[in-house]
C-alpha cells in the first residue's frame, strides 16, 4: 500500500509498505482523509509533538476512514463502519491518568506521532481510540475531529456562561473553531482577531463571529470575560491577558517556543482575579466534537481550504508549496 513515510528530519517519501497486522484489540482503518496541522510541521522539522516521533514513521494524527478489519477482542465495530480516531493513547496507570488528567500522562503515545497514522492507505488504532462518525458527517469533515477536540478541550477547561463576551486572537483553523465552539457553549458574543481585513470579513460570516478586529490597525479593548490566544506568540499571549475584565478567564492555547516567556502584570492578575489556563491536547472530547459536527453547530467545510494528494504533502510541510489555510489529505 501507499504510505507517506517520514524517514528523517525534513525527509518525506511516498513508499510502498505492507498493510499493517491488526492486533486483537485494534481496528484496521482504511484511511480516506487525514488532516495536517502545526504538529506535523514540527514533527517534519524534528521537533516533538505531544510525544517525540522516531523515524521511520507515518504521520497523520487527524484521520477518518472506514473499518477494514477488527481484531478478535474488538466489540462494537465491523468492516465498513465509518470512523475517526483519537490519536492519543494514555497509559491508564500513571499518577496523572489516576487523578483524572490523562492528557498529562507520563507515558503518552499517539497514532500518527509515535506509531503509524493516517497518511497512508491503511493504519491500525486501538479500538478504545476509535469513534463512529455520525451518518450526516462527511469523512472529510470527520478527519478534523481531532483539532475540533483540541479547541473543545480548551473551552471545557473554563466555565462558560451566557453573559460572557469572548475574544479569540488568531484566525487560523483553531481560532475559527474556538469561535464556533464558544458560541455552542453559550457565550454572549465572540470577537475574532486577525491581521487581514478581507480574510476576517469572510471568516466572520463562516464562523458567526459578532465582531472582528484587525490587530495591525486597531487596539484590542480590555472588555472580555473569556480570551483565547490561538497564535502562540509572546505578544498575542500578552494581549490575551490584557484584554480582560475582572473575573475573566484566559486560555493559552497557541504553542510557543519551549523557551518562550511573556510579560504579565501580576498585580492585575490579583486585582482582576484572573484565571490563566494552559490547554494541552484533547482528552474525552471526541463525543462532544462529533455531536457539534453532526448538529452543524461547528461547520468545518467552509474553513478547510485545501484537499491535497499524498505526494503534495512534502512540499506543503517543507514550505515549497505556500498554500495557506487548513489542509486535509485525500488518502483513499
Ligand atoms: N493546545 C493545543 O492542544 C493545541 C492544539 C492544536 C494547535 N495548537 C496551537 O494553536 C495555535 C493555532 O493553531 P492553528 O492550527 O490555527 O495555526 P495557524 O498557524 O493556522 O493559525 C495562526 C493564525 O494566527 C494569525 N496570527 C498571527 N499573528 C497574529 C496576531 N499578532 N494577531 C492575530 N492573529 C495573528 C495567523 O495569520 C494565522 O491565521 C498554534 O500555535 C498551534 O500550535 C495548540
Ligand atoms: Zn493536529
Ligand atoms: Zn498515564
With pLDDT > 90 as the criterion, what percentage of the chain qualifies? 96
Mutate to test the pocket of ligand 1, among 144, 170, 242 (most ligand atoms within 8 A of CB): 170
Read off the pLDDT of residues 35-53 as tens digits, 9 standing for 90 and up: 999 999 999 999 888 888 9
Estimate the crossing angle of helix 286-295 against helix 145-156, to 10 degrees: 110
260 vs 277: CA distance, rounded Å? 16
Ligand 3 (ion): residues with CB under 5 Å are 90-91, 94, 97, 105
300 alpha carbon – ligand 1 mean position (Å): 16
All cell numbers assigned to 273: 482575579
Number of domains in the chain: 2
CA-closest candidate to residue 200, choices 155, 168, 153? 168
The residue range of the domain holding 66 is 2-145+282-330
Residue 104 is assigned to a structural domain of this protein = yes
Q: Which three cell numbers stand for residue 151?
A: 479547541
Site residues for ligand 1, CB cut-off 6 Å: 37-38, 147, 150, 169-175, 193-195, 215, 230-232, 236, 253-255, 279-281
What pLDDT, in 10s, does the model give residues 4-47? 999 999 999 999 999 999 999 999 999 999 999 999 999 999 98
Same domain, 108 and 237: no
Place of cell 492555547: 253
Which cell numbers in the block locate residue 120?
497512508
Distances (CA, A) of 72 to 22, 24, 25: 9, 5, 7
| Residue of higher predicted confidence among 279 and 324 | 279
* CATH, residue 267: 3.40.50.720
The verdict on residue 318 lying in a domain is: yes
CATH number of residue 122's parent domain? 3.90.180.10
252 alpha carbon to ligand 1 midpoint, in Å?
A: 11
Amino acid at each position: 500500500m501507499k504510505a507517506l513515510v517520514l524517514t528523517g528530519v525534513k525527509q518525506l517519501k511516498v513508499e510502498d509498505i505492507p498493510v499493517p497486522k491488526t492486533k486483537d484489540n485494534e481496528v484496521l482503518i482504511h484511511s480516506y482523509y487525514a488532516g495536517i496541522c502545526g504538529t506535523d510541521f514540527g514533527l517534519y522539522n524534528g521537533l516533538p509533538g505531544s510525544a517525540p516521533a522516531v523515524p521511520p514513521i507515518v504521520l497523520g494524527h487527524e484521520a477518518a476512514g472506514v473499518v477494514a478489519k477488527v481484531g478478535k477482542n474488538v466489540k462494537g465495530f465491523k468492516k465498513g463502519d465509518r470512523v475517526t480516531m483519537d490519536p492519543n493513547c494514555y497509559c491508564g496507570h500513571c499518577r496523572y491518568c489516576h487523578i483524572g488528567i490523562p492528557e498529562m500522562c507520563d507515558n503518552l503515545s499517539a497514532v500518527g506521532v509515535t506509531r503509524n497514522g493516517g497518511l497512508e492507505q491503511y493504519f491500525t488504532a486501538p479500538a478504545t481510540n476509535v469513534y463512529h462518525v455520525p451518518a450526516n458527517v462527511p469523512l472529510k469533515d470527520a478527519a478534523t475531529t481531532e483539532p475540533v477536540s483540541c479547541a473543545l478541550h480548551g473551552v471545557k477547561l473554563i466555565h462558560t456562561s451566557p453573559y460572557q463576551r469572548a475574544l479569540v486572537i488568531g484566525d487560523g483553523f483553531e481560532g475559527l473553531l474556538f469561535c464556533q465552539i464558544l458560541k455552542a457553549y453559550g457565550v454572549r458574543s465572540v470577537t475574532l482577531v486577525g491581521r487581514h481585513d478581507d480574510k476576517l470579513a469572510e471568516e466572520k460570516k463562516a464562523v458567526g463571529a459578532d465582531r472582528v478586529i484587525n490587530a495591525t490597525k486597531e487596539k484590542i479593548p480590555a472588555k472580555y470575560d473569556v480570551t483565547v490566544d490561538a497564535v502562540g506568540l509572546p505578544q498575542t499571549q500578552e494581549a490575551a491577558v490584557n484584554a480582560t475584565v475582572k473575573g475573566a478567564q484566559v486560555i493559552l492555547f497557541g504553542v510557543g517556543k519551549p523557551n518562550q516567556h511573556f510579560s504579565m502584570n501580576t498585580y492585575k492578575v490579583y486585582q482582576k482575579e484572573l484565571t490563566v489556563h494552559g490547554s494541552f491536547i484533547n482528552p474525552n472530547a471526541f463525543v462532544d466534537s462529533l455531536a457539534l459536527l453532526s448538529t452543524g453547530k461547528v461547520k468545518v467545510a467552509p474553513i478547510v481550504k485545501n484537499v491535497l494528494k499524498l505526494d503534495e504533502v512534502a512540499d506543503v510541510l517543507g514550505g515549497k508549496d505556500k498554500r495557506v489555510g487548513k489542509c486535509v489529505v485525500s488518502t483513499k
